[in-house]
Amino acid sequence: MSTTTASGGGPLAALIRYYDRLREDSKSGIAEYGFSQEKVHFAIVLETDGSFVALEDVRETNEKGKPIFRPLIVPDGGGRSGTSVQPNFCWDNTGYALGRDNKGKPARSKELFEAFRDLHLSFRDELEGDKGFAAVCSFLEAWKPAQAEKLPNWEDAAGMNVVFKLRGKPGYVHQSAVVRKAWLKRATTSKADAVEEKDNEPPQRGFSLISGQVDELARLHPLIGGVAGANTMGAAIVSFNLDAFESYGKSQSYNAPVSVQEAFRYTTALNRLLSDDSHRERIGDATVVFWTDSPAAEETCLWFKSLLAGAPQATEDAQTVDQLRNFLQATRDGRLSDVSDPQAPFYILGLSPNASRLNVRFWLVATVQQFVDRLLRHDRELEIVGREGEPPLSIRRILWETAREPKDIPPQLAGEVARSIFGGWPYPQFLFNAIVRRIRADSELNPRRAAVIKAFLIRNSQLEVPVSLDPQHTDQAYQLGRLFAALEKTQEDSTDGKLNATIKDRYFSAAGATPASVFPLLLKLHRHHLAKLDPPGRRINREKLMTEIMSNIRHFPAFMSLEKQGLFYIAYYHQRQEFFTKKETTSQETNNE
């Protein structure tokens, strides 16, 4: 905490820093202003004179061997809505580029093609020197849409996005520096014109609250896609879609002055994070993205992901778990710098949908080291006997223990749990209440539930809770939990487990909440159970254990607080585990003999 933390300015500023980092990395392939990444399937190959050569399949293949789109940076068309005719520059679907698609409306396709052709011809003089673009223009002038259907691979290509290229030349037409420059010039001026025409409002210049520079301000921000549950068209973090949100006589996003360039940069960076499986995960109703300012800390993202959601797929399991183990081991040994850049800022942004708007559910900034420390602390608090060798408890698994089925988990809870773990803050009280309620409802105390209760008691109530059985534990609640486990075990043993309803089914929750009203009865029952226990050696052992536990109990409280009930459950769980491990060792011994 003594070092300088350079992290301020909120999520937008951090996203812009991420964009700038990717821009510097030539391999990242992030789009520049005026361009966007789109899904391209085919390329129209032309001769220099514009004659058509072929429709080349440029698709990639996925793991299953199926062809999928190739992501390419192309001139940004700004998105189309409804039935408007709005061609893209140097790329589009075949309806625009070739005048035919798979929608069966030739008249409409013809209209689209003409718009596409006219747009390109309007650039003709400006781009005379560019061979590729000249070829595209000649091609568009000569092309008859009906020819499209005769192409050999038309079935596959109909309706898909296409780009243009020259035969035998590397790269695509839109990638030429001259074409890019001409497009950018047009894009910036025409956008300003469009705004002016539509609203009679010239583009405003002003202070941008992210950079602190005076610049042209964005009236509307580009949409963000890929947040689960939001509009499929995309939604916005910064949007003023109702007039009650506006103030001081300002309209739309002028209420939140952000420059056009910055709006582009943060949305591009965020869209990229949201579409990248290694930087995104879902917790409850929130879609969480995480990233770092340092390329050296990239691996931390993987680690994060597996802690959020558990191992992704069975096939990747072994590898991910291995990576995770290495990472964990390195951090435990204090060798975090071997695998990562410990001082690099790390960001966690949780977005949840609210109709066409997005809501920042949580936003956390710290260094990689700080987050790793918090996660390790959480992991340590969860440590409990009986979970050895199992993968780390992901947030998703924890949440599953709070409800009967995943859809019953309150969406708010997921975010709060994530926030408490990442921030190193107390766990939400509701998490504890929900788990205790589940235990009461189904009398099931599995290792995961015990682990969560333990972590909660340690972090929120500062109670001392051991990992495994501590017979000397001074708390009454703890000894009562042990006592209950012992009573139940005697009943089980005396009846060979052939009971419909055990004392646990009947009295478990009552014993934890109001011990005074239950234990005297249970102790009376116990005498009967004990009498039936044979051989006598077992009976003596059990009596010894009972005496030991009872010697630690001074009285049965009439009522126990929720916290103490938690401790009661943990003790019960510990004692049960103890019985099991003992049994295993003895049976092993007999096998060896």
Q: What does the binding site for another protein look like in residue numbers (CB under 8 A)?
A: 1-13, 206-207, 209-210, 212, 214, 237-245, 247-250, 255-258, 352, 354, 357-363, 412, 415-416, 419, 423, 425
Q: Is 354 helix (H, G, I), strand (E, B) or coil?
A: strand
Nearest CB to another protein, comparing residues 240 and 303: 240
d(CA 326, CA 494) in angstroms, rounded, equals 47
- Residue 243 CB, shortest distance to another protein, in Å, is 5
Radius of gyration of the chain (CA): 33
What CA dihedral angle connects 338, 296, 313 and 277, to 10 degrees? 170
From the number of C-beta atoms within 10 Å of its C-beta (0-12, 13-18, 19+), residue 315 rates as exposed
**In the block, residue with structure tokens 């850049």:** 341
- Residue 380 CB, shortest distance to another protein, in Å, is 21
304 membership: H or E segment, kind and range = helix 298-309
496's tokens: 């060979």
Nearest CB to another protein, comparing residues 131 and 357: 357
Nearest CB to another protein, comparing residues 166 and 286: 286
Nearest CB to another protein, comparing residues 250 and 528: 250
Nearest CB to another protein, comparing residues 351 and 436: 351
Residue 216 C-alpha from the chain's centroid: 34
Q: Are 228 and 243 in contact (CB under 8 A)?
A: no
d(CA 591, CA 509) in angstroms, rounded, equals 38
Nearest CB to another protein, comparing residues 241 and 337: 241
Peptide bond into 557 cis (omega under 30): no
From the number of C-beta atoms within 10 Å of its C-beta (0-12, 13-18, 19+), residue 313 rates as exposed
The bridge status of strand 42-46 relative to strand 161-166 is parallel
- Residue 365 CB, shortest distance to another protein, in Å, is 9
Nearest CB to another protein, comparing residues 120 and 361: 361
- Residue 283 CB, shortest distance to another protein, in Å, is 13
106's tokens: 């030739």
Q: Is 73 helix (H, G, I), strand (E, B) or coil?
A: strand
Beta bridge partners of 45: 54, 165
d(CA 52, CA 29) in angstroms, rounded, equals 29
493's tokens: 């043993």
Q: Is 236 helix (H, G, I), strand (E, B) or coil?
A: strand
- Residue 421 CB, shortest distance to another protein, in Å, is 14
- Residue 254 CB, shortest distance to another protein, in Å, is 10
Nearest CB to another protein, comparing residues 361 and 542: 361
- Residue 32 CB, shortest distance to another protein, in Å, is 23
Nearest CB to another protein, comparing residues 6 and 376: 6
Nearest CB to another protein, comparing residues 218 and 451: 218
- Residue 396 CB, shortest distance to another protein, in Å, is 19
- Residue 249 CB, shortest distance to another protein, in Å, is 2
- Residue 63 CB, shortest distance to another protein, in Å, is 37
Nearest CB to another protein, comparing residues 207 and 559: 207
- Residue 275 CB, shortest distance to another protein, in Å, is 22
Identity of residue 89:
F
- Residue 288 CB, shortest distance to another protein, in Å, is 13
Closest CA to 354 of 160, 173, 459, 224: 224
Total Cβ atoms within 10 A of residue 141: 12
Nearest 5°: phi and psi at 349?
A: -125, 120
Closest CA to 432 of 561, 301, 270: 561
Beta bridge partners of 353: 358
d(CA 587, CA 323) in angstroms, rounded, equals 36
Greatest alpha-carbon pair distance for the chain in Å reads: 105
24's tokens: 């510097």
Nearest CB to another protein, comparing residues 270 and 533: 270
Nearest CB to another protein, comparing residues 360 and 499: 360
Nearest CB to another protein, comparing residues 412 and 461: 412
- Residue 262 CB, shortest distance to another protein, in Å, is 10
- Residue 416 CB, shortest distance to another protein, in Å, is 7
d(CA 458, CA 399) in angstroms, rounded, equals 19
Nearest 5°: phi and psi at 46?
A: -125, 155
